[in-house]
Structure 1
């Protein structure tokens, strides 16, 4: 499949939101129950580390980082969000996108990336493993969906071998 990985722009929000909603509807991609406003999403994500997979004008998937803490000692630690459009899953786009996001994170001084993945989302867990993440634990019954179902969350981490090693 012919596509490009590019920096996300404000104009990508419609495509990003559509894919985010597809993830919400799976019941295993996020505990979010609705798409946030663009301003809320924008303010909650690192400005320098946002990518989309694009074919022409269509957004096929997206990845972005969120800060994990406002404390300066954690400035190099971020949480990964990655979502692939329903019809494009299983085609290698997620791996290409996550690898590019890892590279971009290191270029921007992030030494640790982490993800909290709903345990049933085995595809995302395998994707993260294929990009150098390791499982560091499981938070049992940590959050409850709107339908009342409790879920465990697999904690994953990737430590850079080029940034934050001094």
Structure 2
């Protein structure tokens, strides 16, 4: 049903399109504009960048970003996951996030963090279905694209590799 593969630079136009949808919705990111590939590439880890396809069409993507430049936190990373609007609620997000969890453990990441805008109920449910737990809440942390202050909830998935 779904195919997952590593993201390559040539996927950027599709990744960018899906990211732009999220910007317009204002529920997934506080970013006001999609970065260039070069800027996006610099801020995300080189591994654990995946594309999910259905019928050979890119329908979503995920990646990891470092949470700190300090060596002791090299295994603590932040998750980005985005699914095209037309392909939500068909299991693609769960399939992709579970794959990311499994692959990130193989790479030695022990704590996956997601900061989710609290009104993004679908993302919260997705993370909970994939074994993430709420570990925090931040009030009025940033303004969304519409200029409205938003709260976020912090979710974490701890790897089995450290236990």
Q: Which TM-score band (shorter chain)?
A: over 0.9
Structure 2 length normalisation: TM-score? Answer: 0.97
2:150 is aligned to 151
Mean CA deviation greater in 52-61 or 70-79: 52-61
The aligned runs of 1:49-88 (5 Å cut-off) are 49-88=48-87
Aligned length: 163
Structure 1 length normalisation: TM-score? Answer: 0.95
List alignment gaps of at least 5 residues for structure 1: none
Shift of 1:57: 4.4
Shift of 1:11: 1.0
Q: Is the 8 A contact 2:29 2:144 kept in 1?
A: no
Q: Residues of 2 paired with 1:5 and 1:119: CA distance?
A: 28
Q: Residues of 1 paired with 2:131 and 2:78: CA distance?
A: 15
1:4 is aligned to 3
Aligned CA RMSD, in angstroms, stands at 1.0
Q: Residues of 2 paired with 1:61 and 1:145: CA distance?
A: 22
Structure 1 stretches (4+) deviating beyond 4 angstroms?
Answer: none
Instruction: Tell me the alpha carbon deviations over residues 48-82 of structure 1, each in whole angstroms, 9 at most, x when there is no partner.
Output: 11111013542100010000000000000000000
